[in-house]
Amino acid sequence: MPKKGPYTEEFKEKAVALSCLPGRTLSGVARDLGISLASLKNWRRQAQQNGTVPADDKKPDVPPEVLTELRELRKRVRELEQDNEILGKVSMKRRCRHTLAVGESSGCGALRPGGCVE
């Protein structure tokens, strides 16, 4: 006879129901309830086989080509953010640093490619 765990059927059903809520992840629900991720996955698989939980409830209703485009656009955004960060660092080095007198900075802060025109 298989060994029964310490969890009641009611607890398992509620755990599976929580894992099906929008915005909830399996790992998050398992952590919140203090159970192992493997147990929750097993309970969920059993519920799907019993038909109490739809098998594909986590799949978005978005065409694959849209998901592909979204992935590519997110990658492009990351690349552009990195480029902006690098350009920001470079532009800080191009600020005017001419001095009015010994040790005094003019503080004009020019960002022209050739430096300050003064």
Question: What does the pLDDT average to over 56-78?
Answer: 80
Contact status, residue 14 vs residue 35, Cβ threshold 8 Å = no
Q: What is the pLDDT of residue 116?
A: 56
Tell me how far the alpha carbon of residue 34 is from its chain's centroid.
Answer: 24
Query: pLDDT confidence of 67, banded at 50, 70, 90?
Result: confident
pLDDT recorded at residue 1: 41
By three-state DSSP, how is residue 21 classified?
coil
* Res 14: pLDDT: 92
Q: Match 């059903």 to its residue by tokens.
A: 13
Can you give the pLDDT at residue 35? 94
Q: What is the mean pLDDT of residues 28-56?
A: 88
Q: What is the per-residue pLDDT for 66?
A: 85
Q: Is the pLDDT of residue 73 over 90?
A: yes
Phi, psi of 63 (to 5 degrees): -60, 150
Q: Give the pLDDT of residue 22.
A: 78
d(CA 20, CA 5): 22
> Which tens digits make up the pLDDT trace of 3-25?
556 889 999 999 998 988 878 88
Write down the pTM of the prediction.
Answer: 0.44
